[in-house]
Every structure is written in structure tokens, then in C-alpha cells.
Structure 1
Amino acid sequence: MVGIGDGRHTHPVEHDGNGWVRCDLGHRHWGRYGAAGLLLVDRRTPAGEPLVLLQHRAAWTANGDTWGIPGGARDSHETPAEGALREAHEETGIGSAAVRIRIGGELLDDHGSWSYTTVLAELAAPVTLVPQEESAELRWVPVPEVASLDLHPGFAKTWPILRQRLAAPT
């Protein structure tokens, strides 16, 4: 664990994962230790139609002005789920108490020396969305409408697989 302390206590260094890297495939990515995002689904809708939380990324962000899921760089001490939950909280205000991670609910997009993990989760309690500076908008989107949006390239690539996983029983 990377940390700071007085020899008796070690504290993780927050945001030590921030930074650009080049993966084995030659792509430039944000996240020195990889990245993770939270694909949050709300099945508690009156019509019974599942909704997923999407983030319209601010224009100044990497692949800005596209739609994706809340996420970002993982810190050195974080699991993918911990990083996804932290990023989701930072970008949407949703706390981990309102979320239930699905068992086996991770999809790894592996680029060799860098990877992005999508963590699938269910909304377990009502939430109030609080968009932060990285978000132009946060929106609950019906699953059939997701592909009609201008999606972040990485999310667009994995969406067909993620959609199948969302359809599977929890």
C-alpha cells in the first residue's frame, strides 16, 4: 500500500492514481493503476423498466461531450469496486450505502498494462443526484435507449456485453 504516516499509522494516498499512461495497445488512458466505473441500474421503477445511470461528460474531460458511466482513475490501494464506488460518489453524490454490488458483477476491459473495470450494481435506496464539475448532466436512461446516445468509445465497445449481463438474474 502506498501511504504516508508517522511509522505507526499508514494512510492511503488519495488520488495517487491520477495521471496519463500509455497501454500495451498504444492507447493513452487516464489512471496510473487502471480505472473503474459504476454501472448502476435502478429496477425499482413504477413501470418495471430498468434504468441505468449515465453521465454526460463535461466537454473538457477525456472523450468529453459523450455519455458513459461515473468512473475514473483507481488509486494504488483500491480494488475496482472501491475505485468505482469512490468515483461514483465524487461525480454523482451517491453513497455506497445506496448501492448493492452484484456478485460476479465486473467486466474487465484489459489493455495489458492498463485496464478498465466496469462494476455492475443495483440501486438499493433512493438517491439524489448531485452532478459535479466532470458532469454536464446525470440521467437515468431506459436500457433500450442507451445505444442511441453519443457514447464514450470505451463504454460503447462494452455496452452490448454489459446489457446482456444486466438482463441476467441477480
Structure 2
Amino acid sequence: MRGDGDGWVVCDAGHRHWGRFGAAGLLLRHGGAVLLAHRVWWSHHGETWGIPGGARNSDETAREAALREAVEETGVDPAHVRLTDETVDEHGGWSYVTVHGRLETAEPPALEPTDGEATELRWTPVDEVGDLPLHPGFAQFWASADAVDRLL
């Protein structure tokens, strides 16, 4: 479903970003693993790994947008997701919010991409995430020890 947030904008630093009202993604943890999506080749920074997410709509909080995008892209049951924290990457006039969450189920479900934006979903052990070719924005987030420490 297309929302009013879909569209490209230019931040104060002159960089082009997706999401007229910013963007948000869900870093979903289950035990010692996080859910990652392998982005399709034609997408912005295609063939990299990142988290489910996308443009925020004008009437959404970052948490609402991140959860909506994760449900749309993965089919994860939102009733089992507990949102715990968030990290904001501010670009001046545009921001990306990484919403941290925990999946509260006995076992992580086998999830398949549901909207064509990813070719694969994977529960990736935290200590293996950095070994993957990561989306540049997610790589910068992941390199921040403070951000990753909050997951554990």
C-alpha cells in the first residue's frame, strides 16, 4: 500500500533519501539473532543486507512506521513484537529511526519476503551481522558499539 510518505527528499547536507517524512526500520531480535532482509537488486543499495523498513507517513510515529513496514515486508505477527528502544540518525530535515524490538515467541518463525523488496529473510546471529555486505546506513548503525550494546 502506498502512503503519503513515499517519495525522495534531499536533506540539509544535500543527500537524497527515501521518505518525505523520514524513514524507520525495525531491528528485531530473537535470542542472540536479529532479522535481516537481503534487498532486491533494483532497490536503493540493492544486494545488501539491512532491516525491514521504509518511509514514514505523515500521521505515523517512527515506531508505528517501523512495525507497519516489518509486517508488510516479512509477515511477522505484530502481537509478538515488543518495541524496546530507538536510535535516531538525524540528517538535518530528514531522519532514519532504527526501532529496536524483541520477538516474544518460543522459536523464531521461518519468514519469507512478502512484498518484493527483499529476496531473503534471515535470523542472523549478532556476531555474524558484520560479515555480511550491509546497506551503508545500517552498516554505520551496526558499527556503533553503543547501538549494538543496547540490543544485548
**CA-CA distance at 1:164 after TM superposition:** 1.6
Are the equivalent residues in 2 in contact too, given 1:41–1:52 (CA < 8 A)?
yes
Distance 1:166 1:160 in 2: 13
2:112 matches 1:130: yes
Q: Which runs of 5+ in 1 are unaligned?
A: 1-12, 44-49
Match in the other structure for 1:112: 92
**CA-CA distance at 1:130 after TM superposition:** 2.7
Tell me which stretches of 4 or more aligned residues in structure 1 moved more than 3 Å.
Answer: none
Match in the other structure for 2:22: 34
Residues 86-105 of structure 1 correspond to what in structure 2 (within 5 A)?
Answer: 86-102=68-84, 105=85
Match in the other structure for 2:141: 158
Counterpart pick for 2:46 among 64, 67, 70: 64
Match in the other structure for 1:46: none
TM-score, normalised by the number of residues in structure 1 = 0.83
Distance 2:149 2:139 in 1: 14
Distance 2:149 2:60 in 1: 27
TM-score, normalised by the number of residues in structure 2 = 0.92
User: The residue matched to 1:150 in structure 2 has which SS?
Assistant: coil
Distance 1:157 1:32 in 2: 22
Distance 2:88 2:148 in 1: 15
Aligned residues between the structures:
147
**CA-CA distance at 1:127 after TM superposition:** 3.3
User: The residue matched to 2:71 in structure 1 has which SS?
Assistant: helix
State the Cα RMSD in Å.
1.4
User: The residue matched to 2:138 in structure 1 has which SS?
Assistant: helix
Amino acid at match of 2:49: W
Counterpart pick for 1:75 among 52, 57, 60: 57
User: The residue matched to 1:166 in structure 2 has which SS?
Assistant: coil
